[in-house]
Amino acid sequence: MHVRKTWKTTVVMFLAVAAVTTVTAAFYFNYAATACCTVAPLSSSSLLQEPSNAAAADNELSRSKLVSSAVRISKLYAVCETRDHLRSPADRDRFSRRRRQADDSTSVNVDKNAGNNYSKNGESETARDGDIGNDTALIYFITPTYPRREQIPELTRLGQTLMHVSRLYWIVADDRPDCSLQIMNLLPDFSIPYTYIASPMPSIYKRDPDAMPRGVSNRRAALNWIRLNHNINDSNAVIYFGDDDNTFHLDLFKEIRTTKKISMFPVGLVGEYGVSSPIIDKGKVVGFFDSWPAKRKFPVDMAGFAINVQLLFKYPYATMPYKVGFEEDRFLSALGIRLDEIEPKAENCTRILVWHTQTAKKPKPIVMVRSKATLPGSLATLLDQVTMLGIGGVYAVI
């Protein structure tokens, strides 16, 4: 009898120690996520300043001079490249040439009124030139991405949308252990201030391909970068999560820019209902319309909300959980959000300004050739480009 009691006591003590160890490990893992890659904090205005004439001259020397920081390695992510300035002189010339070519090709339909520099949605047509004052809130646009054959074309499409948005800082977080040369070559083409991060998913979460928390490591890394780089006293910035395959109306950026704490709005092409959205009555959120409530306090899509940057500093340990389907809900709950604090946008959540579009995934094709040296004309060079971009491959039989 005494032996049985001793055995039960030992088991209970072992389980208690295991539980305490697990909780402690989880706490320090979350803490470590906010304690890497320390750099000097910047205000939202300093992130979007044009370089001085002296700095501009240095920027022309080489592309490497435009990289404001070398790759900073941590156990969680690596900052591959940061470009804080709006545009180098070389970028400005290239952008101007493209703008002139576009104007020439569409001269019949373009209004040539030189005084009209603003589109009807309120975003400046010359926003990338820094014409908007610094009193306009900065938008941190976080894009999780991962290597696949559609990655470069989808980032290209998204980048050409973001080119039209004033005071936007793009954080591209890539689910890979190293930095992609293709992405580093692509991002400067849009003349958007950006940071490119390599943020691989921990291998422990890859065991079940059908239940992988995709994009979580990317978003966590981006949030950590903002915590380390944004001035804690500057509330003039908004954070938004935009996937690389989603579609965005330019009015969305005008709507979210005025977010004081948290704003929400409908997302199209989500779930069985075709839309996910807060329900508004008398200007207040009274519920949610979503085909998968799943006992979530905030059944919303990742693209359906924006938060003021100050929430990250008010709740320094709030982050995305590695739990499929509950990323948004647990994150918003960790930020202490209340229902009566939600700011409805998009005409009281009656307009759809963002769509959860998805590109059909197809396997990478392999082109069989007898020998690349025998390919006619430009074909060999073109197939090398196809291989480099990851949209196909070439296999030489000989």
Count CA atoms closer than 13 A to 160's CA, side-chain side.
8
Long-range Cβ contact pairs of 110-118 (< 8 A, separation 24 or more): none
- Gap between the Cα atoms of 315 and 50, Å rounded: 32
- Gap between the Cα atoms of 102 and 291, Å rounded: 42
Residue with tokens 């950006």: 194
- Gap between the Cα atoms of 345 and 249, Å rounded: 13
Dihedral sign for Cα 38, 43, 45, 50, please. Answer: negative
Task: Determine which one of 123, 327, 328, 343 is catalytic.
Answer: 328
User: How much is the pLDDT for 20?
Assistant: 54
User: How much is the pLDDT for 162?
Assistant: 98
- List per-block mean pLDDT (blocks of 10 residues) for the chain, which spans 398 residues: 58 65 50 41 57 39 38 68 66 50 42 38 41 76 96 97 97 96 96 96 84 92 96 95 97 97 96 94 95 94 97 95 94 96 96 92 82 79 80 78
168-174 vs 138-145, strand pairing mode: parallel
- Gap between the Cα atoms of 234 and 212, Å rounded: 35
Structure tokens at 117: 């520099």
Residue 215 φ/ψ region, left for φ over 0, alpha for ψ in the -120 to 50 degree band, beta for the rest: left
- C-beta of residue 231 within 8 angstroms of C-beta of residue 279: no
- Gap between the Cα atoms of 62 and 186, Å rounded: 16
The amino acid that residue 66 corresponds to is L
What is the SS3 assignment for the chain?
CHHHHHHHHHHHHHHHHHHHHHHHHHHHHHHHCCCCCCCCCECCCHHHCCCCHHHHHHHCCCHHHHCCCCCEECCCCEEEEEECCCCCHHHHHHHHHHHHHHHHHCCCCCCCCCCCCECCCCCECCHHHCCCCCCCCEEEEEEEECCCCCHHHHHHHHHHHHCCCCCEEEEEEECCCCCCHHHHHHHHHHCCCEEEEECCCCHHHHCCHHHCCCCHHHHHHHHHHHHHHECCCCCCEEEEECCCCCEECCHHHHHHCCCCCEEECCEECCCCCCEEEEEEECCEEEEEECCCCCCCCCCCCHHHEEEECHHHHHCCCCCCCCCCCCHHHHHHHHCCCCHHHEEECHHHHCCCCEECCCCCCCCCCEEEECCHHHCCCCHHHHHHHHHHHCCCEEEECC
Active site residue 343: no
- Gap between the Cα atoms of 34 and 29, Å rounded: 9
User: How much is the pLDDT for 43?
Assistant: 63
